[in-house]
Chains A and B, each alone.
Chain A
Amino acid sequence: MGERNGLDGKLMTVAEAVKRYVRDGCQIAVGGFTINRNPMALVYEIARRKVRDLHLVAHSNGQALDVLVGAGCVARIEIAYGGNGRFAPTCFRFRKAVEGGEVLVEDYTNNQMTLRFLAGALNTPFIPSKSGLGTDVLQQEGFPPEIRDGDKVARKKVHVMADPFGHADDDVALLPALTPDVSLIHAQQVSTDGTVRIKGLTFADLEQCKAASAVIVTCEEIVPECYLRLDPDQNALPPFLVDAVVPVPYGAHPTACPRFYDYDPKHLNLYKEVAKDDAKWAAYLDEWVYGVESWDAYLDKVGGAQLVRIRANTVAGYAPGLDRR
């Protein structure tokens, strides 16, 4: 395991990381939550490379989900929520794809998806929960029997059984574990030894990374190992869990990265307009994803003044007073 510590062999570009770990048909877990800390630089690269037939697993995902689905990269989705708060009560391309039968979707809840990642991290085949008993979330399957191979798709969505230890009349729902092929997250800092620090909410990022076969972390900055060792209780993931590290400033744009920048209302409003319309959406992908030659070029398109507007206030951690209408 020694070689997995330090950044040697792990430090790479988004193109290298995606090429190495995100293949057609693989199961990917995307971190963040709605408009916060989505690994967007990786998502755009996956779209640019035209990766296909992905099996996306997430809890409450917004922007990353919508771009991946809208770019035609996704065939199957297991998810709790596809929305972007005020900017998309339901994610637009996600909605169109589900209504049009272009993707298969199986619904769970946030608690269930989090627990399923935790089960994967525990290396157990399933985990019990009380969420959703008696509801269609447990009773309605979204995946057809022929793809339920018991490997990356569970043989059944859920199994309800009586508590075998205590009260025999008390039911629990057993949820299948998730072990994604690759987990993508965006963090604020990674140290020179590969330790990851996340500031603010962690959502289910840690569980999904511990459950995955490979972990790609994009980050705002690389910092000295001694700096993250000063407060080890603030660190999220140890180096040996991380396979690829990609420094990408503003790598979560247009979603927020607490203490570095807020979500970008200007871009999310633009997105809202184009994502509703197929022709405008195709043009958006051409302009903002396929036609952008580098991350620098993407940021130039967003514009320096806008990046300053969304820059986080040092004390607040977001951009107070930002016009978010």
Chain B
Amino acid sequence: MAPEYNMMELMICVAARYLEDGKTVAVGTGAPCAAAMLAQKTKSPNLVVLFEAGGIAPQLPEMPISVGDSRTFYRAVMAAGMVDTMTTCARGQVDYAFLGGAQIDKYGNINSTCIGDYNKPKVRFPGSGGANDFASLCWKTMIMTVHSKSRFVETCDFITSPGFLTGDGAREAAGLPEGGPYKIITDLCVMGFDEKTKAMTIESLHPGVDVDKVRGETGFDLLVSDQLGRTEPPTEEELRLLRDEVDPLKLVIGRA
């Protein structure tokens, strides 16, 4: 019988599989950090984890709760500062970066600043932090989020972090380096971006989910890949590592 899991566990396990061994990933705390830790314990032991606040390649002993947490530089190769990590991103030495946000549009632009008018916001969020920098400067950005119509919107109230901006060629025209959104992992599916138009495209449906369900939870027209796949559920081994070694306090997986 297939093991039981919650949606947070599913998203973390799926995200971890995209992180190739030997690459560098910039993570925030929470689910992305859990995904990076799980990847290191499964297929990518040489994955380098970087925290924007200055922790470079730590041997993460316990789940940090902020990118400024002292755990982010435990047995690290460096406990550095923001100039060090941001120059690393700017020189194109970071392969993956995880982002989060309150709103995402079809080109993968993200809002983590506010709902409503910027000068008189209805809801204020924390702001960019390093998210805009990662989205601007890293090669492949990834998002893990719950799938809902209020989150996947036609237009972001504020574009905090750049995706493909207005579509193909827009990043280059704005002066941004090559790169952009790579995968969006939700509780319903995995999405990528159409090679030509740079519009969001369903690539893999999670167990028990169909295209209509995903479209029903999305506020814009979603493309569907002609190689639409079915997401492999978490394995027993992935779940054991995640629950016993990555997040025994359930700081992240307990939030599902």
A191 CB–B CB distance under 8 Å = no
Chain B interface: which size bin? 35 or more
Tell me what chain B mostly uses at the interface: helix, strand, loop, or mixed.
loop
In the complex, which residues of chain B have a beta carbon less than 8 angstroms from the beta carbon of A317? 70, 74
In the complex, which residues of chain B have a beta carbon less than 8 angstroms from the beta carbon of A171? 174-175
Report B155-177 CB contacts with A as 1/0, cut-off 8 Å.
00011111001000011011111
Q: Is the CB of A132 within 8 A of B132?
A: yes
A133 CB–B CB distance under 8 Å = yes
Q: Output the least CB separation between B119 and chain A (Å).
A: 7
Q: Is the CB of A32 within 8 A of B136?
A: no
B39-87 residues at the A interface, CB under 8 angstroms: 52-55, 61-62, 64-74, 79-83, 86
Q: Output the least CB separation between B177 and chain A (Å).
A: 6
Q: Is the CB of B81 within 8 A of A172?
A: no
B129 CB–A CB distance under 8 Å = yes
Tell me what chain A mostly uses at the interface: helix, strand, loop, or mixed.
loop
Q: Is the CB of A134 within 8 A of B162?
A: yes
A27 CB–B CB distance under 8 Å = no
Chain A interface: which size bin? 35 or more
Q: Is the CB of B118 within 8 A of A110?
A: no
- Given A109-B133, A111-B82: A35 touches B69 (CB 8 Å cut-off): yes
Q: Output the least CB separation between A197 and chain B (Å).
A: 13
B110-139 residues at the A interface, CB under 8 angstroms: 113-114, 118-133, 136-137
Q: Output the least CB separation between A57 and chain B (Å).
A: 13
Closest to B113 in A: A107
Beyond the given A33-B67, A62-B68, A207-B81, please list 14 additional residue pairs across the A-B interface where CB-CB is below 8 A.
A34-B67, A35-B69, A36-B68, A91-B126, A98-B121, A101-B120, A107-B127, A110-B128, A112-B133, A135-B159, A135-B165, A170-B175, A199-B79, A318-B71
Residues of chain A having any CB pair with chain B under 8 Å:
32-37, 59-60, 62, 79-87, 89-91, 94-95, 98-99, 101, 107-112, 114-115, 118, 130-137, 140, 142, 160, 170-173, 199-207, 256, 258, 262-263, 312, 316-318, 320, 323-325
**26 A-B contacts, Cβ less than 8 Å apart?**
A34-B66, A35-B66, A60-B67, A80-B127, A80-B128, A85-B65, A86-B30, A87-B65, A90-B126, A94-B124, A99-B121, A107-B113, A107-B127, A107-B160, A109-B131, A132-B162, A136-B113, A136-B118, A137-B128, A142-B119, A173-B175, A201-B53, A201-B68, A203-B53, A325-B249, A325-B251
